[in-house]
Amino acid sequence: MWLFALVTLTYGAVESVFGNWTPLYLQTNGLSPADAALGLSIFWAAVTGGRVLFALAAVRFNVRPLLYVTPFAVGAVLLVLPLLNGNLAQFLALAAAGLALSYFFPYSISLASAEFPTRTAAVSGLLVAGLQLGSGLSANIVGFANAIIPLSVLFQASAAYMLVMGALVLYLERTRPRSTGDDVMHRDLPPQPAPCLQHYQKQESV
């Protein structure tokens, strides 16, 4: 369970880098304040739209392989973003990062709940705490470090979070109990009987 919390901590750290520091970074890279704000809006729109697309795709397709690819894809975006020039290239990179990050947090809760079906409340609370801790720590680390290190370097250094996330995901996949890990998202959570069926079963037992 704690490893899943570390996954959401690294997710929160990277989301915080994009969410808190993208406008300032884009302005230092030559964009106007309005264009920098637009870049941040594009990132969040990609996160929101990606979650909707993921929810729809999970009903029909095996989405689990995305777990093993997207951390490294976001890491690549963090490394490449400071090398890009022009609005369009940077906006496309931010959209790609938002799309790749979009599903990770809700899907992590789903997978952790499937692996610990008797502790779903604790799982949800712990993973949300990991997200918030990662966001807070990362925002402050970048803020303090930016006094001596350029934002472009800090963005590239943040790719280390994604390497850690990718390693954790691969380890969790290798060690997960096969009896609880179906490949389709809507099968990851343990099935619960309908309330009417539970009532009928109680009457039968009486």
Helices in the chain by DSSP H: which ranges?
2-28, 33-60, 66-80, 87-101, 104-115, 120-145, 151-157, 159-175, 195-205
d(CA 32, CA 26): 8
Q: What mean pLDDT do residues 167-196 have? A: 58
Q: Compute the residue count for the chain.
A: 206
Helix-helix angle 2-28:159-175, to 10 degrees: 160
Contact at 8 Å (CB) between 15 and 43? no
d(CA 113, CA 8): 14
Torsion of the alpha carbons at 116, 70, 78 and 20, rounded to the nearest 10 = -50
pLDDT at 144: 93
Residue-wise pLDDT tens digits, 103-112 = 888 888 888 8
Residue-wise pLDDT tens digits, 9-54 = 999 999 999 999 999 999 998 899 999 999 999 999 999 999 999 8
pLDDT at 189: 43
Residue-wise pLDDT tens digits, 125-167 = 888 898 999 999 999 999 999 999 999 999 999 999 999 999 9
Q: Which CATH class is domain 2-205?
A: mainly alpha
H and E: helices and strands count for the chain = 9, 0
Average pLDDT, the chain: 84
d(CA 85, CA 197): 60
Higher-pLDDT residue of 115, 73: 73
Does the global pTM surpass 0.85?
Answer: no
Domain boundaries, the chain: 2-205
Judged against a pLDDT cut of 70, whether residue 122 lies above it is answered with yes
pLDDT at 169: 87
